[in-house]
Amino acid sequence: MYALVTGASAGIGMEIARYLGKLGYDLILTARSEEKLRHVRAGILKRYPGRTILVIPADLSQREECFRLYQEVCEQAGRENIEFVVNNAGRGVYGLFLETDLEQELNLIDLNVTAVHILSKLFLRDLVENGHGVLLNVGSCAGFMAGPTFSSYYASKSYVVRLTEAIHEELRRAKSPVKVSCLCPGPTATAFNDNSGVKVSGKQIPTPQAAREGVDGALAGKMIVIPGRKMPFVVGASRLMGEHLSTMINYSLQVKKAGK
Ligand SMILES: NC(=O)c1ccc[n+]([C@@H]2O[C@H](COP(=O)([O-])OP(=O)(O)OC[C@H]3O[C@@H](n4cnc5c(N)ncnc54)[C@H](OP(=O)(O)O)[C@@H]3O)[C@@H](O)[C@H]2O)c1
C-alpha cells in the first residue's frame, strides 16, 4: 500500500517519508525539486530495497498542479492502493503585515491552505470509499494562536488545525475506520525558518522525532499530535492566558526572530 508525502524533498516531510518507508509502505514523493526527491528516493531504497517509490514533482501552490498530482497518483498507484496521505508542504513569510509582500503571502495561502484543502478532499473521499487509511495534515503549534510579525503563517496553520479537527470529528461520528490527524510541531530543526526569514535561537526538536511522533500518533487515531515534551505545555498555557495576553506575548517573542 502507498503513502503519499507532500514536501518530501526536505525537512519533516523527508523524515516522514523515511519513517513510512521503514514501516513498510510504498511511497509517492512530491515537492517542486525533482532532483532532491530522487536523492531522497535513492536513500530510502538503499535502506529498504523492496519498496516501490514513485516521484511526482509538483508546485502545489498552483491549484491545477494539486489536481494533476491527484490524477497522476491515481494513474500510477491506483486509488484503491492509497493508504496514507501526508499534507506536509508548507512555507512561511516573516515580517510586519504592513511590510510583507502580498504576492508571497498569497502564494503561502495557496500552498498552506488551498492545497491542503484540495488534497484532503480528493484523497479522503477515496480513503473513505476504500474503507481504510490515514490522512495526516501538518499544521503547527502556530495554529493555536495569533503570530504578530508572522501573521499569515500563523493564520494559515489555524486553518489547517481547525479543518483537520472538524473532519476528524465528522468521521468519528460516522464510525469511519479512516483516521484523520493534525501534526502540530513547535520549532523543529529544518531549513524552514531560514527559508522564511526567521532566526531561531531556542531549542528545536530533531526532525526525525517530529516525523515519528506524527506518524505514530496518526496511526493511533489521535486528533492532534504535538511532538516533544515542552510544546504541549506552551500551547496549554497560551490557551489558559487567553487570546489577548497570548498575542501580546507572541509579539514580544516573534519580533526577536527577525533574521535575514
Ligand atoms: N520547521 C518548523 O519549525 C516547523 C514547525 C511547525 C510546523 N512546520 C510545518 O512543517 C511542514 C514542513 O516544514 P519543514 O520545516 O520541513 O520545512 P522545509 O524544510 O522548508 O521543507 C518544506 C518542504 O515543502 C516543499 N515545498 C515548498 N514549497 C512548495 C510548493 N510550492 N509546492 C510543493 N512543495 C513545496 C519543499 O520542497 P521544494 O522546495 O523542493 O518544493 C520541502 O520539501 C510545513 O507545513 C511547516 O509549516 C514546521
pLDDT tens track for 117-139 = 999 999 999 999 999 999 999 99
Domain total in the chain:
1
CATH of the domain at 121: 3.40.50.720
| pTM confidence score | 0.97
Banded model confidence at residue 258, pLDDT cuts 50, 70, 90: confident
**Partners of 3 in beta bridges:** 27, 84
Higher-confidence residue of 198 and 172: namely: 172
What would the 3-class secondary structure string for 118-187 be? HHHHHHHHHHHHHCCCEEEEECCHHHHCCCCCCHHHHHHHHHHHHHHHHHHHHHHHCCCCCEEEEECCCC
**Residue 11 beta carbon below 6 angstroms from any ligand 1 atom:** yes
Is pLDDT of 94 > 60?
Answer: yes
Within a domain: 46:
yes
CB 47 within 8 A of CB 37: no
Percent of the chain with pLDDT over 90: 94
| Residue nearest ligand 1's atom 1 by CA | 188
Predicted local confidence at residue 41, as pLDDT: 98
Within a domain: 260:
no
Euclidean distance between CA atoms 125 and 127, whole angstroms: 6
| Residue nearest ligand 1's atom 18 by CA | 192
| CA distance to 80, 94, 196, 202, per residue, from 199 (Å) | 43, 10, 9, 10
**Partners of 29 in beta bridges:** 5, 55
Q: Where are the alpha helices (DSSP H) in the chain?
A: 11-23, 34-47, 63-77, 102-109, 116-130, 151-173, 192-196, 207-219, 230-241, 243-255
Distance (Å) from CA 173 to ligand 1 centroid: 32
Range of the domain at 176: 2-255
Shortest CA distance to 208 belongs to which of 54, 20, 4, 5?
A: 20
Banded model confidence at residue 155, pLDDT cuts 50, 70, 90: very high
Within a domain: 39:
yes
Within a domain: 175:
yes
How many CB atoms are located within 10 Å of the residue 63 CB? Answer: 12
pLDDT in tens, 31-68: 999 999 999 999 999 999 999 999 999 999 999 999 99
Distance (Å) from CA 111 to ligand 1 centroid: 10
Predicted local confidence at residue 201, as pLDDT: 75
Predicted local confidence at residue 197, as pLDDT: 86
Active-site residue numbers? 153
Is pLDDT of 216 > 60?
Answer: yes
Predicted local confidence at residue 202, as pLDDT: 84
Banded model confidence at residue 9, pLDDT cuts 50, 70, 90: very high
Banded model confidence at residue 179, pLDDT cuts 50, 70, 90: very high
Predicted local confidence at residue 260, as pLDDT: 56
* 199 DSSP 8-state letter: -
Ligand 1 atom closest to the CA of 59, numbered from 1: 32
Residue 48 C-alpha cell reads as 529498504
**Residue 254 beta carbon below 6 angstroms from any ligand 1 atom:** no
Banded model confidence at residue 199, pLDDT cuts 50, 70, 90: confident
Ligand 1 atom closest to the CA of 139, numbered from 1: 7
Within a domain: 21:
yes
**Residue 10 beta carbon below 6 angstroms from any ligand 1 atom:** yes
Is pLDDT of 25 > 70?
Answer: yes
Predicted local confidence at residue 140, as pLDDT: 98
Predicted local confidence at residue 136, as pLDDT: 99
**Residue 62 beta carbon below 6 angstroms from any ligand 1 atom:** no
**Residue 65 beta carbon below 6 angstroms from any ligand 1 atom:** no
